[in-house]
């Protein structure tokens, strides 16, 4: 399991759609089962 924090949902979507991540996904898809969730969280501040 991994957890990555982004400054905004837009930044997370930009990362997910980036050519670099999409290239890495080609390898990940062959490595096993995976699930990716983008969750819009709120800070306690």
CA atoms of 22 and 1, how far apart (whole Å): 19
Q: What predicted TM-score, i.e. pTM, was given to this entire model?
A: 0.66
Write down the pLDDT at residue 43. 66
User: Which of 5, 1, 3, 2 shows the shortest CA–CA distance to 41?
Assistant: 5
Q: Which residues contact 22 (CB under 8 A, 6 or more apart)?
A: none
Contact 12, 6 (CB under 8 A): yes
Q: Average pLDDT, stretch 24-42?
A: 83
Distance separating alpha carbons of residues 45 and 29, to the nearest angstrom: 37
Banded model confidence at residue 44, pLDDT cuts 50, 70, 90? low
């Amino acid at each position: 399991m991994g957890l990555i924090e982004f400054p905004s949902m837009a930044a997370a979507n930009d990362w997910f759609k980036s050519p670099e991540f999409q290239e890495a996904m080609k390898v990940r898809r062959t490595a096993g089962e995976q699930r990716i969730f983008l969750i819009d969280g709120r800070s306690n501040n």
